[in-house]
Amino acid sequence: MKGKRGLIVGLANNKSIAYGIAKACHEQGAEMAFTYLNDALKKRVEPIAKAFGSEYVYELDVSNEEHMAGIAAKIEKDFGKIDFLVHSVAFAPKEALSEPFIKTSKSAFQIAMDISVYSLIDLTNRLESVLSDDASILTLSYLGGPKYIVNYNVMGVAKAALESTVRYMAVDLGAKGQRVNAISAGPIKTLAAAGIGDFSQILKWNAINAPLKKNVTIEQVGNSAMYLLSDLSSGVTGEVHYVDNGYNVMGMAAATTNDEGKTVLAWDAK
């Protein structure tokens, strides 16, 4: 990644997946600019940027037209061109994650799709003039897109749309030589995950049922992301790459916990 420059959109703190990605890219020599959503997050993002040797931190709310209209000019002024873009943005109103999916309101559905999906398309278009000819674009998905995950609700539908968006964008941008991919990470205890009900149980379930018998880390996701953002993956586009210790291959539960809280084979549970 030495000599490459990129923009990390959506980093919240040093526990976030975007942080793991930025860390892996920094360790391989990349230079990066970062965005923050609001003043509350600015004080978290600025020290992280500084630790990665960057003074370029921009306010960016993807639903704010003024922010979106000005982001390309800021990048051009500070970097000229960028070689990669990390889109780590997702949101749904709280009630759309706590109520049954069938009760999702039209406004909540539109917000989830706009922030979590359309922002990738919009941001890519806004940055068209500053993306290098062989730029790599990466977004973040989750198994709740192609499969049902308890309490994921409208975000699952949004992730399904996001993954489809990756495929369609890959074709459109492929003619330019640019690539678009997604990483579907296993559950990780992040700020974003705090809005998912029973998340601690989801973590436990994944850990005992994944083939590698543990949950993934932001470092593991970061290393895979670095590969997709680098020239090592120059022949890869339109893909959803799973980094979940193999959980996505499971067709049924291998293990669960019994009444005593011990991990047992699912079919032996009492």
Bridging pattern class, strands 263-265 and 5-9: unpaired
**Catalytic entry in 36, 56, 58, 152:** 152
Residue appearing with tokens 């953002």: 229
Is 152 in the active site? yes
**Dihedral of the CA atoms 108, 18, 195, 140 (nearest 10)?**
50
d(CA 33, CA 57) in angstroms, rounded, equals 6
**Sequence letter at residue 90:** A
* Among 101, 136, 111, CA closest to 239: 136
Residue appearing with tokens 């949101």: 91
**Catalytic entry in 36, 56, 118, 142:** 142
Is 242 in the active site? no
* Residues 5, 6, 12, 15, CA torsion sign: negative
Bridging pattern class, strands 57-59 and 82-87: unpaired
Task: Write the CB contacts of 225 (distance below 8 Å, at least 6 apart in sequence).
Answer: 20, 21, 24, 25, 86, 138, 183
The set of catalytic residues is 142, 152
